[in-house]
Amino acid sequence: MTTHNWALQRRLALQGLTGATFGSALKAVKRLGCVQSQELVPALNAVGIRAGHTTIDTTAAELSSGAFVRTHILRPTWHFVAAEDLRWILAATSPKVERAVAHRHRALGLDSPTIDAFLDRMQILLADRKSMTRAEIRAAFPQYNGSAVSHLLLVAELRALVCSGPLQGLAHTYRLVDDFIPPAEIDVEAAKVRLVHRFFAGHGPGEISDLTRWAALTKSEVQTAIAELGDKLERIEVDGFDLYHDPTIEAAYEPGDSLLHTFDEATLTYPRLNFPRTPGHPLGEEPGPFMAADPFAGAFISGTECPGGWRLSNRRDEVNIRLDVVPSFKARAEAAAHIYAAYLGKPLTIS
């Protein structure tokens, strides 16, 4: 059975959004390989719901423990990644990512000696297992503006010098990778093959183009890896698209409802074969991109269809969620909104 609906069910089940959850955020992150995390609160919720967590504090504590970290990896974007996977995924993707952002070096006036001096200074600042917020790091480099420091920190992450440390409240901190992840010799080509398998095992069924959008790998590199993986991956055809997945992973689908933010792996990953819009969808019934400028907005997914969207306002004393859904799905969307607000530990207002 290789229909569009089957592919969607398979993805939802593999990603822990339906049926059994993973029990921990680390297991959710490992299944997906990396989880996009531009904005921390929506990103924590994304792995928290897959883990079966009922509060954000539980998910944040896992992140602070160092079991998984938040860093720039795969492409010039924040992601969660398991600590044990950090070095080999960086080795597989970072050289290409850094080449892609080299124009920012020039635009910000950052030459190689300047970058090297920053990295050396960061090693001194974070020695003895220290962690620092971005504001503290900026204060230590008054000669640079905020954009330059942000870019230099991205380079430090891509080169496996720093990654996230324990949260201060919900504020991101940085620490040295060497303090808790031992250096290792890495076979880069083997790492690329491993990453291809990890993607299709956690995001499948997916297209090659889904993977080349997700990570800094070329189509040729992915095709070579697929050939090397052999029967570890299965190719199926759905609606004229060639999709790949790992058929050995068991995952049972059960219909459910989810408020998925703009950058959720279940929606953003698949530009061409995604959740169909329910008739009467507020944005029209024609399929459209799930990408949006607002990281606090997203899609309401019910079963394997999209009946509308939502937006979060996470205020100091309450959560407001604006729902824009097909009327017959309103009650289901409101129930999902109550679960989201309970996860954040605040009263809910719905608009």
| pLDDT digit string, tens, across residues 207-254 | 999 999 999 999 999 999 999 999 999 999 999 999 999 999 999 999
Q: What are phi and psi of 209, to 5 degrees?
A: -65, -30
pTM: 0.95
| pLDDT digit string, tens, across residues 10-44 | 999 999 999 889 999 999 999 999 999 999 999 99
pLDDT at 120: 97
Boundaries of every domain in the chain: 20-179, 188-245, 257-350
pLDDT at 2: 82
pLDDT at 231: 96
Which of 174, 213, 188 lies closest to 89, judged by CA? 188
pLDDT at 290: 54
CATH no. of 188-245: 1.10.10
Q: Which residue positions in the chain have pLDDT lower than 50?
A: 291
| pLDDT digit string, tens, across residues 259-280 | 999 899 999 999 999 999 999 9
